[in-house]
Structure formats: structure tokens, C-alpha cells
Chain A
Amino acid sequence: MSMPVPGSEAFSSRPVDPQALAASLPASLPVHTVTREQIDALDPLTYEVIRHRLWSVTEEMGEALKRMSGSPIVTDANDFDFAIGDELGQEVQVGLYNTMLVGAVDLAIYWTLANRAENPGIGEGDMFLCNDPWVGGGLHQNDALVYQPIFCEGKLFAWTSALCHEPDLGGMGLGSFSPAAQDVFSESVPTPPVKVVRDFQLQRDVADLWVRRSRVPMLVGLDLRAQVGANNVGRERLLAVIARYGADTVKAVMKRMMSDAEHRLRAKLSSLPDGTWNATGYQDQSHEGDRSLHKITLAMTKCEDHLTFDFTGTDPQAGVINCTYAGMRGGVMLALLPILAGDIPWSAGGLMRCFDLIAEEGTINNATFPAAVSRGPIGPAWLTGTLVAECLSQMLDRSVDLGRSVQASCCGTWDTAVIAGLDERGPRPLPFLNIMMEPMAGGYGARPHVDGMDTGGLFCIPMGRIPDTEMSEFLYPMLVLWRREEPDSGGPGRQRGGVSASLAVTPRGTSLPIGLVLASAGKAVAQNNGLSGGYPGNTGVEILARGTDLGGMLAAGTMPADLATIGGQQELGQNYSQTYLAPGEVMYMHWQGGGGYGDPLRRDPQAVAADLREGKVTAEAAAVIYGVVTGAGGDVDGGATGQARDRLRRQRRDRAVLDGPAPAGQVDPAAGHRLDDNLVRVLDAGHPVVACAHCGQRLGDPRTGATLALASYEGPSAAAGPQVTSDPAAYVDDPVVFRQYCCPACWTAVYSGIVPAGHADHVRDIGRLIPAVSRPADAARA
């Protein structure tokens, strides 16, 4: 860990008071704004028409960038985003690509206004470039933001921005990812805002300074022009809207969009009970060679129409798994946007007024300079979002209406493999460098009423995609042996988590080993947790098969379809490693599916039989996790299934530990108020108590104790089922366990997790279910 660097504080951007920011600007930079009266005077028709126009502006910027970009990360995986901001950079409309970036883009504009308005000035025809994650814009240095002020009649009217992930911007590691980095000086240089376009002219000196650092300067140069072009498209389209409707009307719409989004989110929050919910998650390993766990812990408090996300207690910054404040904020947005604002327009500038962040400085999701941050978005920022989603789901699950937005965790990281080498297939050898894009095909978490989406993608990139295999093989000297959905990778549950896919590739068309950097998480401790007793999805795994006879097999007419056939010496890929893939060797990657919802023993046996037919679960999982027996032709054997499920419940009983006798008495669960899939709140002589929703067993009474009387079990992580693909001891020293809590009467699972043995969970806290202080309205509802 490096010492703090005096002088680096000036580059830490934070949300600002817009009035104060506007007042601080020099007279040389007049800004255009509108009055409250002008906003209120908008007619609904004009508002809707212009609002849709602004959406289509970000869409067209996206299409323009995709058409122009040279990077498959942009063109085939959609890892980029766009925003239109008001005159101060508050986000009015954001694209639906990488939503974590939403938490970072405005920070860069605030910083630019505060630090660039006097010198070198902010003028018409300028564009700025920034990849400093402390300033904002992106979440790590590979995220390059190009943004422009748009002027109308001499006044600063708005900002457009185009951000994309660059394949490599220098530093020690391939793809600017150095798994062994101890600080940011081993990584790509963070570049604070520089004027890359001045008076509509791309500045050759700045452009050269930018591309010179990269291992793939051509691609970075093409992307830079694509980003400039996308902003050009945005400017042209926005000015056309202004020419059509007038600057004041358009600005009034922009302001109204943000306040509408804010008010709608506040109204939704007001309709929910107040309370505090907790979630804690982990990164296995912080850098190459590390074998420890690093946690982020969150206490989310909802009070009336406001949320507070308090990350106090999160571990100190370490290795490469750190993100800046922008990453923490982006992580919050990745969950908040789809879960709370799926039906509210994503005017992020308004939505972000509804929460506060509390975090200690120098922690893995609020890292201070010069922490290494290249893993920021896909490590700690992503985990931040997963935990926020988990807390939001706990809050929403008790609401019949809003509970439709409950979702178990999705694939919890980007399983990274950077590849670089020499393509010898053409008339002359050409170097290549990029990231395998297939891990975009993760599984989604299950929801109370539906299974998780199989290979639905990544929750933080609503419009992500993967390239066709033919495109991957066209671009890189490799052969894809398979790319397929993996059975059992979706977390078991009453609703099954979405399955993920796996990939096996071998070099073809190169005589040299392909350089390989691997980075992932969730291989020991699950990141794709289930909810309400649902199990986590699969643990991630990478395997390198060396010394195979692949060439012989192919020549002999065999196309291996599993690792056993491939043979050779099979190495388990660590979370962080720098290695290689030589001709004749095979790399196997299997990223994460989504978590399950509810107890798998309560899954409809017909659904399990259908999953068997469609290859979503194996016969083994159907038998030992779901307790479903099928006969000839794949039809459910009802009698045998009932017996198998009884047997599995007895197994839970036999292995469980009880703190004491279960509270006496049954209640009628039908009279209760839903808390989640398994728990209800019922009134006992006017006092709320918690009971099992299935059998009516009383489980807790806040008057007599703070915890629920649940039976607990801890065993090896493999006890969770075949989705656990490797021994956690291969990655970390801390013991990792499968932990399950069940109703002590009907043995329904109410929690199933793969966690460190020392993990402090809040499953049994009655306080998360029945807040100590209820508002009168809540009591009335109960």
C-alpha cells in the first residue's frame, strides 16, 4: 500500500450543490437556465414529444459510436454509455448500456466546470477527454470519456458525453490490467480533463499524447474519432430540437424530466415501510498471489422518501480491487435504476437526489489516490450494486405490488480474460489485443414469479451483447470448441436462477503462445446469492488444459465437447493471474449464473422436468437439490418425487442445529402480512410476530427476543449442489461454507448461502422484518 500523495485531493470530485456551482462560474461563461414558472408552464404534449426526442438523441449517439468504433468491446459488447446533461452537467437522459457509468459522468463535468472554466476555458466547439476515475467520467482508466459543452446564443446550454471502454491504455499489464499492481502508478496514467477538440478541430498533440500510451494506438485512435463523431451527432440533433422548439422550452423539459423522476421515486419510497437492511459481500483475492477475502458491507436505511447507503465497516483498500467514489456511486445506480426506477424515466440527475452515500475514505469502494483501481468497476463497484440490489429486494419483497421488482443476485462480476498475441493467418503477422466478450452471457437472478433469464446478460449493461463465434474467430487466431449454456449454473430455487454459459477456446493461426491475463471473483465465496431460501448460482471457474493431444484429436475426427475428453494437465485459473495459452492448449471459462428465489424443494416438479428436457439442470441436481424424480419419457413421477422431497427434508432436520426449542404455538399464516416467500408477520394480541408462511410455526417475537428461531446448518460449500465447481481452498485461506437456515417445523429453507465461515449475516434479525420503530401508517397496514 502506497502512502497518500499530497496534492492528489484536488482531483477528487464529489456531487455539488448546483446553485453554488453556477454561482462560482466566471462571467466569461454565461449559462442558460429557466425559471420555475417556465418549467411549470410546459404543456404535457410538448414535454412528452421533446422527452422522446432526447431519448432518441442518446440512441443515435450510440448507433453512431457503434458504427464508427474499432473496438469489439464497443461494437459487439456495448460496453459504453452516453448522457445528455443540463448546463451544469446534471444527467437528464442516459443511455441504457453500461449503467454504472451513470454514477460517474456528471462528476467529471462538475469538476471541469470548477477547474477549467477560467483556464483553458470552456467554449463552443470544444470537447474534453478524461479517464481519471477520481475526477469521474469513468470507473477505471480504461473508461475514456469524451464530452462537449453545447452553447446556444453564446450561453452554455447543455453537455453531451460519450464514454467507452478502451482495450488498452498502457501500464504494466495487458489491457491496462496488471493483476499484481500495488498502486495506480503500475496502471494506465489517469488523465484529468484535457481539451482534445478546440474550435471544432481535433488537437493532434493531445490526440497523440492519448494514443501514444497504448499497446493498440490504432484502435484507440479510431475510438477517439468515433467518440468525437458521436458527440457531433448529439450536438447536431440537440441543436435541431432547440431550433424547433426554442431553447427555453427544451431546457424546461430537461429540468422537468429530472424533477419528475425525482418526485416519482420519492413517491415510491414513501409508499414503503421505513427500516434498515443489511448485506455483506466479498471479493476473493485482491491481487495476484493474495489468498484473503475482502468485504464490502452495507446498511441501507429508508426513511420516508429518502435512502441512505452506509458502507461503514468495509475493508481497507487492497491490491487492485478498489474503486473510487465514482465507482461506489455507479454501483448504487446499477441496482437502483432497474429495481426502483424501471418504470421511471432514467433522468439520473433527479434520481440521484434521493439518496446519500456514507463511506469511510481509503476503503475498497471509496479508494483514495494512489490505490490501484483497474478492477474498480467489475470488482468493488459491481459488488456494491449487488449488495444494494439485495437490500432493495429485502425491502420490496413484502410488497405485493413492488415485490414484482424483487430479484435474486445476477452474475456478480465480469469474468475477465485479456488476450494478446500475434495473428499469423494473414499475408503478414499482425499483433492483436482484446478482451474475451463471451462472459457477457451471464445469468439473471430469479424473481418471486419467474425464473431468472438464462444467458440474459449482465444486470449492469441492460443492452449488452456478445459477438457471434464467427466474429471472434475472424478477429482472433483461435478456435472456439464450444460456447454453450451450462446446466445447474442457475441457482436452485422455487424459481430457478438463470443459467450462464461456458466457453472453450484454443489458439489456431498463431505459432506463439497467446498472452493471457485472468481476473475474476466469486470462485470461492458466491457473489450470485439467492433470496428467500434460494441457492446461489454457480461459482466461477477457469481451467487451462496444457499438454493435450488436441491436434491429434481434431485430425482424427474428434471434436472434444468436455474437459475430460480434452485431457492433459488441467490448471485451475486463480482469480488474478498472468499466464499464457500456447497452441494445442485449451482455455475453459465458466462465468456466473443468477441466484435462485425460494426453496428449491417447493419448485413445481413439472418445471424441473422441463428444465431437464431443455438442459437447464442435470439429473443429479433434479434428484439431490430439487427432489424430483422422472420416469421414462421424462415425465414427473409424483409419488417418488414426494418421497424424495420428504427424504431431503429429513436430511435437513438430521443435520441441523437448533439454538433452543422453537417457540410454542401455530398461527394461521393466511392471516399474515407477507414478508418474503417464507415469512409472514401476524398480529398476536395486537403485537406483530414472525411466523413461517407455509406451516404457521411461530419463529420470532420482538417482545421476547431479537432473533428468529431457525434451524441452522453449516457444511462444505459443495453441499450446496453441483453448481459449486471447485474447492474454495484452491483460492482462499479462510474457510468457506454452505450455510442454510430452515423453519424448524416444516424444514423449508429460508436462507441458503455460500459464505465465509465467519460471515455475519442478518437473516435471523427480527429487526429487518419488524422495525423497532414503525410509523403509524405501517402499523395500520399490518
Chain B
Amino acid sequence: MAYVIGVDVGGTFTDAVLSDEAGTIVAAKAPSTPPDYSEGVLDVLAVLAGQLGRPVADMLADTHHVAHGTTSSLNALVTGHVPPVGFITTRGHRDSIYIMNVEGRYLGRSPEELQNVLVQGKSHGLIPRRHAWEITERLDRDGTVVVELNEDEARTAIASLLEDGVAAIAVSLLWSFRNPAHERRIRELVAEADPDVFVSLSSEVSPRIREFARSATTIMSTQIGPGLRDYLGGRKALDAERSAAAIRTRIAGPLGLSVEDAAAAIYAIQNAQTGDLLRKAVVEAGHDPREFVLYAFGGAGPAHCAAYAAEVGVREVVVPLGPVASAFSAYGLAASDIVLAAELSDPSAFPMDPVRVEKNFAHLEAQVRDALDRQGVRFGQVDLAREVDMRYSMQLAELATPVSEGPIDAAELGATAARFEQRYAELFGAGSGFREAGIQAITYRVRATGALRFSPGLPEVARASGPDPSHARTGTRPVRLGTGSFTDTAIYDYSKLQAGHVIAGPAVVEVPTTTVVVPGGMSGTVDPLGNLIIITNQESAR
């Protein structure tokens, strides 16, 4: 019997899910144990083994692989609990990470904050200037060496950084993604000085054009690379009285509304803004939100999801509530195929040189295959997909455009350009394209999908005899959603629902970890896995 185990280390709990070829699924939880999270991992493995009725050692001996994920890196970056790192870049360009293309002042702010220019401030740079060194070297846009790497300067910078006690060094040189030789040489020089120091190269972390984002990504990667630090966590109880008081004094009073009206307004505005953000995120990535199913998880999401899904035009919402839903990140780790991507910026104008394109893809394919091999997992099948980000000449944004398998020739590149133009017209309206301006290919990408040799199924829940969920209904209470008045609304106990039950909105489903709202005019169906599928009706979303 071969097991796959997924372990997700969170701030509060460490979740684990074990699956096997026979379809067995076992989920377990144990408290996380900061600062040494490995204890929590061992604890949860012991719980899993206990559920299997086997010793831990035996279970692990039969385990094919353990997939591990954690939010601690993100937490470390957000809270700034990262070790000091050094940064080495091209002479004349250190300040890129402080100038932040100017937009560091406002990115990610709300409309109200955006227009309140006078209260804005740039965030501090990721690292203090004394840890950011410039060294003499230069490449041009083709990767040609303009100025040779000055190794003495590099050694001086490295020695000074190490003397200052940095835990790791990030290296990001201009155009290094076109020619990584200088970055690699600097890594060798660091190793000569101290072989134990962690080094990240921008040409490996994020080999794409636009140095600010590439440098920032490399620095952050370096900050979390050497080790994980402690992070925040914990649970907070909701105090209804104090919530009402906060709404009364901060919102309801100034607006001349009742607390209930203000709360309803908060709910509706939250839904509208989430909907707008979601639409923007989806549209800006080049997708049509109407083609998506919305997956709503977490503690608060299911209270809002049906309303904002309808705002965005999403017809179907899945609220994961099945037996392993509370450990679904761990399940995902245990059940997922492994997908790796490699990309390479090589800007050129259409028609691109087929030999060069072929070479780019060959390089990327070798890179992702190698990376998959390093996972140490025996895959059932490995699929590779190619794409290239294209745009009309000098556009800022590119559209990811699929490229067919097989040899690259002028005909295939022509077909790729045609696919780009077709997708562009779909997004911005017929006639909005302008081929006369020229087309450029910027970034090449290969995604490799390593399929697991078995795919763990999910356990099904008991099947109901009919759609009527009355026996799970615990009663009614007045509930108000949006502009309407309080309406007597059915309340359901999730633990009593079975597959096939259909809940007509307005209704509230109470789950230990969340509360699901099914607005009036919509319906929710329990699927065989125990998830609640809400079909939205856009007219009744408000």
C-alpha cells in the first residue's frame, strides 16, 4: 500500500491528510508548535497513524511521498520577521528598489486612499541602503557584455556584507535573464567567501524583464530562504455587543442610519467591492469571469460569496464542506498533480526567429523536466504546455498565448500570432487590434504537469432519499440581507444535511467553521462530496 500524505502548517493548526490507491482518505489536525513547527508535524503524523491503527514508522515506510506547505513564509514577509540580507546589483541602478518606479507610493490602495495623495508614503525599502551594493558590470538588452564583471569589487561587497552579518545575499543584475553569467560568477565568489551563505539569483528566481519586480522578488525569496521564523496566529471571539457599538459610533450615527441599516450597508458594500476586485483581478489576467465557478472557503467568505458571485456574473459557487474540507489545503497537497513552470524573457518582434524560439522552448522544457525529477516522485505521466506572452509593439501588457507542440516553424509562429489577435479581439472588442503596429513576443513559458500515479478520491457523504431538507432544519430567525427588511429565514444544521438535499433561499446553513448564506431567489444543493453548490440568480443578488 502506497500512501500520499499532505501536511499544511498554519498559524494555529497543522493539518494532515493521508490517501492511498484504494481511495482511503484520513484527515487529522494537531496544534501548531511555534517556534519549532516540526513538533506539530510529528504530532499530526502520529494522529494519522493512530487513525490507521498502525505505528508511525510503518506508515511512513509505506508512504510514497509527503507534500508539505506552509503560510509561515508569507507571514514572515508580512510581519517583517526576516533575517538581514544583502543585495548586489549593477552599478548605477541600486536605487531602483527604493524608487519603486514611483508606483510604490500607491499600489494596492483603495479609491479613497488613492485620491488622498497627501497621506500616502512609500514603504521603506526591503533592505537598508548599507546592505545594497553596486558593482561594476553591465549587459545590454541582448545579453552582450558591455562592461566585464569587476570581481574585486564583488569580493569587497561580499566581504563587507558578511562582516555586517547578513544571513543571505540576493543578486539581481540588469538583463541577467538574458545572460546569467555575471550573477552565477557572483554566487561562486560568495561561496568562496563562505560556502554556507544562502544566495538567490534573479536570473533563476524570476527570469523576466523589468528589473524592479525581479529584484524585489529575488530579495524576498532571499529573506525567506535561509530559514523560517516564528509567526503570528491565534483565534479571536466575535463580541456582538462591541461590534454593534463600533458600527453605531463610527458608521450608523454619522450617516443617520440605524445599526441594522448600517450593518446591511456594510454587507452590501463589502459584496460590491469584493465583486469589483474579483472582476478586476480576473479581467486583468485576461479572463472572462462568466466562465468561472467560484470556490468560497474560509470563515467569512461563505456569508458573502453568493451575493458577490452574482455581481461578477458567476453562476455557480462551491462552498467546500465535505469531510476533509477543514483540512483541504493538506488534502490538496496530498491529491495534487505537481505543476511546475519555467519562463524566460526573450523580447523580439514578430516574425520571431523559429530557431531561437525552438531553442527557448527546448531550454525551458529541459529545465522543468529537471525540476520535476528533483521532486523525487514517480509520476504516472508528464505533460508539457508551451505559451508565449505576446503584445502589439510597445504595449505594456502581454497576453499569454498557447504555442503548439512539435517543431517550431514560420507557419506555427504565424498561427500563434493569429491566436493572440483572436484572443485580443475577444477581450477588447472587434477591431481594437492593430497589427500594422507590429507584434512582439516577450516571455516564453513552459508548464509541466506531473500526474500522480493515483488520484486520491474524496469520501462521499450519505445520500438523501429526496431533495427535501426539512429534517436538517433547526428553525427560523429574522435575517436581513442588503436593502430588504428582516425576513423569517430558515436555518439548517449542516451536520444533518445529506447529498441531494436542496435548500431554497433565503436560508442560512450553520457549519462549525463557517456560516453559509443562500440569498432569496437562489438555491443550494448538497453534492455527493458534501459540498454546498449555490446556483446564483443575478437578479436577486442584492
The interface of chain A, by Cβ under 8 A from chain B, is 43-46, 48-49, 52-53, 55-56, 59-60, 63-64, 66-72, 75-76, 96, 202, 218-219, 221-222, 225-226, 228-229, 232-233, 337-339, 341-343, 345-346, 404-405, 407, 425-426, 440-441, 447, 450, 453-457, 459, 462-471, 473-475, 479-485, 501, 504, 508-509, 554, 557-559, 561, 613-615
Contact = CB atoms under 8 A, between A and B. Distances in A.
Contact of A338 (B117, B269, B427, B431): B117
Given A52-B273, A463-B114, 15 more contacts: A53-B276, A56-B280, A63-B280, A66-B396, A96-B115, A337-B115, A338-B116, A425-B142, A426-B349, A456-B102, A462-B117, A483-B93, A558-B136, A559-B91, A559-B138
A459 B396 CA distance: 23
A66 B284 CA distance: 11
A450 B118 CA distance: 10
Interface string B153-193: 00000000000000000000011000000000000000000
Given A202-B431, A404-B118, A483-B95, A70 B395 contact: yes
Contact of B265 (A45, A96, A407): A45
Given A426-B349, A557-B148, A64 B428 contact: yes
Given A68-B432, A469-B211, A479 B99 contact: no
Given A229-B428, A474-B141, A615-B129, A222 B95 contact: no
A49 B483 CA distance: 11
Contact of B92 (A55, A219, A481): A481
A225 B276 contact: no
A480 B174 CA distance: 10
A646 B393 CA distance: 61
A658 B349 CA distance: 69
Given A70-B437, A218-B436, A218-B438, A342 B116 contact: yes
A470 B174 contact: yes
Which one of B90, B96, B210, B437 has the greatest number of beta carbons of chain A within 10 Å? B437
B138 A463 contact: no
A102 to B, nearest CB: 11
A482 to B, nearest CB: 3
Contacts of A426: 349
A219 B393 CA distance: 9
Contacts of B437: 70, 218-219, 221-222
Given A48-B265, A218-B437, A470 B175 contact: yes
A53 B272 contact: yes
B395 A67 contact: yes
B392 A222 contact: yes
Interface of B: 90-96, 98-103, 105-106, 111-112, 114-122, 128-130, 134, 136-138, 140-142, 146-148, 150, 174-175, 209-213, 255-257, 261, 264-265, 268-269, 272-273, 276, 279-280, 283-284, 347, 349, 392-397, 427-429, 431-434, 436-438, 482-483
A229 B280 contact: no
A464 B99 CA distance: 13
B432 A466 contact: no
A70 B101 contact: no
Contacts of A46: 483
A59 B114 CA distance: 12
Contacts of B256: 44
Given A45-B268, A462-B115, A470-B209, A226 B95 contact: no
A343 B396 contact: no
25 contacts: A45-B483, A56-B276, A63-B280, A66-B396, A66-B397, A67-B396, A67-B428, A221-B436, A225-B434, A229-B432, A425-B141, A426-B349, A440-B102, A453-B122, A455-B102, A464-B103, A465-B103, A468-B96, A470-B174, A471-B209, A471-B210, A475-B394, A485-B99, A557-B150, A561-B92
A508 B482 CA distance: 61
Contacts of B130: 613
Contacts of A615: 129
A343 B111 CA distance: 11
A409 B382 CA distance: 60
Contact of A482 (B93, B209, B434): B93
Which one of B93, B101, B213, B264 has the greatest number of beta carbons of chain A within 10 Å? B101
B140 to A, nearest CB: 6
A15 to B, nearest CB: 22
Nearest to B150: A557
A271 B396 CA distance: 46
A342 B112 CA distance: 8
A404 B148 CA distance: 50
A63 B284 contact: yes
B493 to A, nearest CB: 31
Contact of A455 (B98, B150, B431, B438): B98
Contact of A466 (B101, B122, B138): B101
Contact of A484 (B92, B116, B269, B394): B92
B99 A225 contact: no
Contact of B269 (A48, A218, A504, A509): A48
A557 B269 contact: no
A469 B93 contact: yes
Contacts of B347: 474
B276 A441 contact: no
A468 B209 contact: yes
A343 B268 contact: no
Given A462-B106, A483-B96, A484-B92, A467 B395 contact: no
Contacts of A405: 118
A148 to B, nearest CB: 13
Contact of A68 (B136, B140, B150, B428): B428
Nearest to B311: A244
Contacts of A221: 434, 436-437
A-B pairs with lowest CB-CB distance, top 7: A482-B92, A75-B396, A338-B117, A342-B116, A468-B210, A457-B102, A67-B397
Contacts of B146: 479, 508, 554
Given A222-B434, A225-B431, A337-B115, A470 B141 contact: yes
Contacts of B147: 554, 557-559
Contacts of A229: 428-429, 432
A433 to B, nearest CB: 11
A614 B128 CA distance: 8
Contacts of B174: 469-470, 473
Contacts of A484: 92-95
A467 B128 CA distance: 23
A509 B141 CA distance: 10
Contacts of A504: 92
B542 to A, nearest CB: 8
B257 to A, nearest CB: 6
B99 A455 contact: yes
A462 B148 CA distance: 40
B3 to A, nearest CB: 46
Given A70-B434, A221-B434, A468-B210, A559 B118 contact: no
A501 B95 contact: yes
Contacts of A558: 136, 147
A440 B100 CA distance: 12
A346 B279 CA distance: 23
A52 B140 contact: no
A63 B114 CA distance: 15
Nearest to A75: B396
Given A75-B395, A225-B431, A561-B92, A614 B209 contact: no
A492 B136 CA distance: 32
B243 to A, nearest CB: 19
Contact of B140 (A45, A343, A345, A473): A473
Contacts of A467: 101
B434 to A, nearest CB: 4
Given A67-B428, A474-B347, A468 B211 contact: yes
A226 B427 CA distance: 12
Contacts of B428: 64, 67-68, 229, 232-233
Contacts of B90: 559
A44 B257 contact: yes
